[in-house]
């Protein structure tokens, strides 16, 4: 009897140790799930996204991210106008209103056709749609401790991420399925003690040329779970001319 109990104890300890995983290992497995062929870093990606926010009309955007060339192009329908922001590999920017350059600086400013906004859009879309691969970027700090926790009603593995001061000040948490390491959501805080910031629930998956990109993203406030909106991925093209 003691021998049997001893064997069971050894087996249970083995199971606990098998479930242990570091932050770096979790990130590695998550990237392996979403980008098994390591394509993201050189991929040319085009996304059609419909943004639906409460009490607002649907806003359609076409986003082109060329990681091989280091270029970015955003087209957005806004108040009946087609607006475009472009950033090239040298970090230079350009803009269009209905296919023409802005008439003057007043029009450009009124439509947020500025270098700052262009780079902000580039960073925003490249980061969110490049996750979890973007967590390998320089300046990213991966917490070694992984926690099992609930997120959006699911049992998940939680990865904590912070950044070097010159990269970013927010604290992020990413959530993955324990069985497959699929990313199911994330949240961020500007000031975690104030419970500010937002969390994003992912739903569905688009699979193109080896990349697995989450399909729809619904945003809520951390403080009171207020719905902010949903980004619907209408179409995805990867490495298509």
Q: pLDDT tens-digit profile of 48-104?
A: 999 999 999 999 999 999 999 999 999 999 888 999 999 999 999 999 999 999 999
The CATH number corresponding to 32-238 among 3.40.1440, 1.10.287, 3.30.310, 2.50.20 equals 2.50.20
User: pLDDT at residue 14 above 70?
Assistant: no
Q: How far is C-alpha 126 from the chain's CA centre?
A: 8
pLDDT tens across 179-220, in order?
999 999 999 999 999 999 999 999 999 999 999 999 999 999
Element (H, E) at 15: helix 2-19
pLDDT tens across 16-57, in order?
233 589 999 999 999 999 999 999 999 999 999 999 999 999
Q: Give residue limits of the domains in the chain.
A: 32-238
Give residue 241's pLDDT. Answer: 57
Q: How far is C-alpha 13 from the chain's CA centre?
A: 36
The CA-based angle 71-214-87, given to 5 degrees, is: 15
End-to-end CA distance of the chain: 69
* Angstrom distances, CA of residue 111 to CA of 64, 91, 213: 20, 20, 30
The two three-digit tokens of residue 218, written as one number? 């619904």
Give residue 20's pLDDT. Answer: 83
- The reported pTM is 0.89
Give the CB-side neighbour count of residue 202, counting CA atoms within 13 A: 22
Closest CA to 234 of 54, 29, 59, 53: 59
């Amino acid at each position: 009897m003691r021998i049997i109990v001893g064997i069971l104890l050894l087996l249970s300890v083995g199971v606990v140790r098998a479930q242990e995983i570091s932050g770096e290992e979790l990130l590695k497995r998550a990237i392996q799930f979403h980008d098994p062929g390591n394509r993201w870093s050189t991929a040319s990606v085009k996304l059609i996204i419909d943004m639906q926010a409460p009490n607002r009309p649907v806003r359609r955007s076409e986003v082109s991210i060329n990681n091989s060339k280091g270029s970015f192009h955003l087209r957005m329908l806004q108040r009946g106008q087609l607006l475009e922001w472009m950033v090239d590999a040298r970090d230079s920017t350009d803009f269009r209103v209905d296919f023409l350059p802005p008439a003057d600086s007043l029009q450009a400013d009124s439509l947020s056709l500025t270098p700052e906004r262009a780079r902000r859009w580039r960073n925003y879309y490249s980061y969110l749609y490049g996750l979890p691969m973007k967590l390998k970027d320089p300046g990213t700090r991966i917490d070694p401790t992984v926690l099992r926790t609930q997120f959006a009603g699911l049992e998940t593995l939680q990865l904590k991420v912070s950044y070097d001061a010159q990269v970013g000040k927010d604290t992020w948490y990413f959530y993955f399925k324990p069985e497959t390491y699929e990313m199911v959501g994330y949240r961020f805080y500007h000031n975690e003690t104030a419970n500010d910031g937002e969390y994003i629930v992912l739903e569905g998956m688009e699979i193109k040329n080896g990349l697995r990109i989450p399909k729809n993203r619904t945003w809520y406030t951390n403080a009171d779970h207020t719905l902010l909106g949903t980004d619907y991925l209408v179409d995805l093209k990867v490495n298509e001319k």
